[in-house]
Amino acid sequence: MENVFVVTGASRGIGAATAALAADAGYRVVRASRSAEESVGDRGWDARCDVSSWDSVQDLMARVESRWGRIDVVFANAGVSVDTSFVSTAGAKPSEWTNMVVTNVCGPAFTARAAMPALMRSGGHLVLTGSAAGRGVRPGNLYSATKWAVTGLAQAIRAEAVGTGVRVTVVQPGLVDTDAIPPSRADDPKLAPEDVGRAVLYAVSQPSTVDVNEILIRPTGQAAHR
């Protein structure tokens, strides 16, 4: 039975690039996103899923395991970003912050909880998208705080998963060339989405005795504080 790789936030950017690389590596790939038009083939599946909804994520994992018999890798990648400030009216209004926090924090938590039974059965691998921004202080940046949360979440899941055979990796990219780049950083060095995808494939391709806990990856020339 062929291994199955589930990617959330797979409609563009890091998710789309990683899904393509996983397919090239021989996985059956589930490309999950809120905007997906449901389509199932022998090796690829475009699946609709809203990671901010526990019911939606639970339903996705149940459908995948029922149809394809197993889940071997889950890449909890879906996320959003808005500009924020705590001392001025710049950026998004506070009423717009909730979706980002729920998507970026509850989303990977829901994904992990829904996927873990299948991953324990397969001895699989959970990968979460964090951020280099989640490793240091970014003034007024709530997005950065959500990615601090993802790092803590990965550590908490890994600690609880000891003895289950499930490996847990958090990938922390620096600036990536996607449509989420703020205008102020348009000229900064950037990673291609495929650069991050290759880091994910590196982690999941290691022997079952090797658990790559964290990968920090920045474009050459990006300052550590950015």
Cα 79 from Cα 107, distance rounded (Å): 8
Q: Residues of the chain whose pLDDT is less than 50?
A: none
Domain count along the chain: 1
pLDDT at 179: 74
Examine residue 226 and state whether it is found in any structural domain, yes or no. Answer: no
For residue 156, the one-letter residue type is: A
Q: What is the DSSP string of 149-211?
A: HHHHHHHHHHHHHTTTT-EEEEEEE-SBSSTT--GGGTTS--B-HHHHHHHHHHHHTS-TT--
pTM of the predicted model, to two decimals? 0.94
Examine residue 200 and state whether it is found in any structural domain, yes or no. Answer: yes
pLDDT at 188: 82
Examine residue 163 and state whether it is found in any structural domain, yes or no. Answer: yes
Examine residue 103 and state whether it is found in any structural domain, yes or no. Answer: yes
Examine residue 225 and state whether it is found in any structural domain, yes or no. Answer: no
Residue 126 bridge partners (DSSP): 74, 168
In the three-class reduction of DSSP (H, G, I as helix; E, B as strand; rest coil), residue 45 is classed as strand
Examine residue 223 and state whether it is found in any structural domain, yes or no. Answer: no
Q: Give the Å distances, CA to CA, from 188 to 142, 181, 183.
A: 21, 10, 10
Examine residue 202 and state whether it is found in any structural domain, yes or no. Answer: yes
Cα 130 from Cα 121, distance rounded (Å): 25
pLDDT at 127: 98
How buried is residue 180: exposed, middle or buried, by Cβ count under 10 Å (0-12/13-18/19+)?
Answer: middle
Examine residue 224 and state whether it is found in any structural domain, yes or no. Answer: no
Residue of 5, 45, 143, 148 marked catalytic? 143
143 tagged catalytic: yes
pLDDT at 185: 74
Residue 215 bridge partners (DSSP): 171
Helix count (H) and strand count (E) of the chain? 6, 8
- Domain range for 33 is 4-217
> The domain spanning residue 157 has which CATH number?
3.40.50.720
pLDDT at 226: 64
